[in-house]
Amino acid sequence: MKKFLSSLLDLIYRKKCYFCQSSKYSLKMCPDCYDALDFNDTHPERTIYGVNIYTCGVYEKNLQKLIRGLKYHKQKELAYYLAKFMYEYFEKLNNTGDFQVVAVPLHKNRIKKRKYNHMELVAEEFCRLAGLTPNFKLIKRVKDTKPQYKLSRKERLTNLSNAFEVDTASDLHKPVLILDDICTTGATFEEMIKTLNNCGIKEIMCMASSSPVC
């Protein structure tokens, strides 16, 4: 009877994969669904102010569901899998820089509404994998910007103008790696790069987990 109850409880409380609903591995993202993620090639998506912008994959299928689950549906455990995906791409770049890692910051009003910055969760997991150090105080969002998804590139740049501020008490000499979830027009990265450049930070790299479907 004890063995039966133990097996029953194990069955009930085993985690289901968020993507295929299988409880075979008792993981939030099973190996089969993770392995279905496709990497982009290692060429920069674009270059802004001399800074290379990389995107790890395309915003579709499992990668889209991974990002949306983490960002909008409070599936915080998925941060590890997005970080792992980004780290595996990062390794392909053979970049040995000792970066301080920055997640694209949210305004305090957005944090109050959402309760967390999903990219900070990803950045923390990414740093554990990469042996790097997060620095979420380096740059903050001081302007409560409108959602970007319905705006043109020109409107996005206007929306983001003067949106960020650097903490000059932080380390302004160490290279910076900025992480984001989706790079659509590059406007967010552009404004952050410009803000960091204005404080003397020139050694910057940007990486988003995905780019839009062409």
Q: Output the pTM of the full model.
A: 0.91
Instruction: Give the pLDDT confidence score for residue 152 in this predicted structure.
Output: 82
* C-beta of residue 93 within 8 angstroms of C-beta of residue 130: no
pLDDT tens, position by position, 115-167: 999 999 999 999 999 999 999 999 999 998 877 777 788 888 888 899 999 99
By residue count, the chain amounts to 214
Q: Model confidence over 178-195: pLDDT tens digits?
A: 999 999 999 999 999 999
Q: Residue 95's pLDDT band (boundaries 50, 70, 90)?
A: confident
Between CA 163 and CA 176 the distance in angstroms is 18
Count of CB atoms situated within 10 Å of the CB of 3: 7
Q: Are strands 204-211 and 51-58 parallel, antiparallel or unpaired?
A: parallel
Tell whether domain 37-211 is in CATH 3.40.1440.
no
For the chain, what are the domain ranges? 1-36, 37-211
